[in-house]
Amino acid sequence: MLHKKTGSALFTEIQNAFIGLDTQYTLATGETTKRIYLDSTASTLMMKPAHDVVEHYYQHYANTHSTLHFGAKISTDYYQWAHERMLSFLGANPKTYACFFTGSGTTAGMNRLARVFKHGRPEKTTALVSIMEHHSNDLPHRKHMEKIIHVPLKERNGKLGCVCIDMLENICKEHQGQLNYIALTGVSNVTGIMNPIYEAAEIAHRYGAYMIVDGAQLAAHVPVQMCNPKHPEQNIDALVFSGHKTYYPGSPGVVVARKDLLLSVEPEEVGGGMVQDVFTENYVVKSTFPDREEAGTPNIPGAIGLAVAIDILDRIGMDFLFKEEDKLIQLALDKMTNIPGIRIYGETNTNHCKRVASISFNMKDLDHGLTAAILNDYFNIAVRNDCFCAHPYVKEMIMDDLMSGVENIEMDDIDDYIELKRGMVRASFGLYSKDEDVHALADALMEISKNAEKYISHYHVDASGNYVHKSFRFDIEPFYPI
């Protein structure tokens, strides 16, 4: 049923097999061109072979809580396979780890884990996160733990890199005894900078803490090994990622965590499917996974589609994909650093910090919203702009710009300036991104940098602060399917 190819042959085939790669829009110039999708960090496009499998599966669709009829048996079997596939994809031993699906992404999983870890060890009231976290790996811990410490990042020539392992260890030492867990992103959703998660895990364990990894930007880009039999001290205790960032939109969030930790507290969510028996006076929770963690009817097709996408990633090989992406990121950094007036955020020397997926930048004298609007309206390049739900990190990097004299500004005006200017443009990549996409971005930025005044003159700012083209209007009506 599925492709029998593997490795680079499968990669070449799959690279072109995403829904949305041929989408066309008409631009401000009147031309109709193919969209260049550089917003994969927000959500990746859908892998078509995974979609095809789910369409086929719909013939048999049934609730996994039904058990006896044929469709229910097929659904239950497929759905169970999806859990097993997640565990093997992340190198998590099924004897000690469980996978469950939850909510719509990493956010739901991270909220669940914060509550589990808090209730599992209420006497340990402190958690560490880094300053580069997405709000989804910061606010749940702030809400549930008594104390949160933001670990600083390394800095080199005024550019921020990955989390500083020495400072992490010092903080752990200082707070030993109260430390419950470290929650660290594997990859920044702003700069694409990778964190040393295995080293951090070793430190966490040395000081009696658990290690949680936000894998939202990791899973689709980097090989992950939650269990390392040679170095068990580096094992990751729990990891969360989003299906919609792993080539299957509409799929759930994925949590993979140590069973003993999950079993130490009653599941946070209760209802049908997770109980052994219910009496009017009490109820007995199942001890089996994933049932005890998945109250209610799950997103069965989403989970199956994601498992197929992951199966294909594994067959291509995550090591192979990581190397391919490394070449693409290096090309993008090389091309972009040559554009006059560009500021690329975070450590750009990949010998010092590995990067995947995202590159964030600003163009001199252009607001991030305007750059993103021009890229869209004139070049059909889809990027994201603003603070990417990582306000402290973005603010810190903009502040660093000021301090390093990239911008000339009076100290008294700094807060106003940051408020006004905070935000960046982010170009981000997936396995369907090609060299030609990078060239198109670099050419567009070069053209914008050369003719900034011309482009600026086509826009005004509306009451909500958005850049609106003075004459071009994008008509959404024809895109409604019904």
Which spans of this chain sit near ligand PLP (rule: CB under 6 A)? 105-107, 134, 136-137, 185, 189, 214, 216-217, 242, 244
In the DSSP assignment, the letter for residue 480 is -
How near is the Cβ of 402 to ligand PLP at its closest, in Å? 26
Cα 284 to Cα 277: distance, rounded to the nearest angstrom: 5
CA distances from 73 to 54, 63, 66, 293, 356 (A): 16, 9, 8, 21, 40
Q: What angle do CA 395, 397, 400 make, to 5 degrees?
A: 110
* Residue 18 vs 393, nearer CB to ligand PLP: 393
Give dist(CA 172, CA 446) in Å, integer: 46
**DSSP code string of 251-290:** --EEEEEEHHHHHTS--SS-STTSEEEE-SS-EEE--STT
Q: Are the C-beta atoms of 50 and 305 separated by less than 8 Å?
A: yes
Q: How far is the CB of 136 from ligand PLP (least distance, A)?
A: 4
How many residues can be counted in the chain? Answer: 482
- Which lies closer to ligand PLP via its Cβ, residue 75 or residue 106? 106
Cβ-contact 43, 429 below 8 angstroms: no
Q: Which is nearer to ligand PLP, 136 or 433 (CB)?
A: 136
Least distance from ligand PLP to the Cβ atom of residue 207, Å:
24
Report the nearest approach of ligand PLP to the CB of residue 394 (Å): 13
Q: Which is nearer to ligand PLP, 214 or 291 (CB)?
A: 214
Closest residue to bound ligand PLP by CB: 105
Distance between CA atoms of residues 292 and 261, nearest Å: 13
The residue whose two tokens read 């009506």 is 477
* Shortest Cβ 391–ligand PLP spacing (Å): 13
Beta carbon of residue 437, minimum distance to ligand PLP (angstroms, whole number): 20
C-beta closer to ligand PLP: residue 216 or 448: 216
Q: At its nearest, how many Å lie between ligand PLP and the CB of residue 236? A: 15
3-state secondary structure at position 53: helix
Backbone torsions φ then ψ of 118, nearest 5 degrees:
-65, -50
User: Which of residues 191 and 380 has its CB atom nearest to ligand PLP in the complex?
Assistant: 191
User: Which of 121, 221 has the CB closer to ligand PLP?
Assistant: 221
Q: For 45, how many CA atoms within 13 A lie in the half-sphere containing its CB?
A: 25
CB of 48 to ligand PLP, least distance (A): 21
Q: What are the distances in angstroms from CA 53 to CA 58, 64, 105, 304?
A: 9, 18, 22, 8
Quick one: 44 or 180, whose CB is closer to ligand PLP? 44
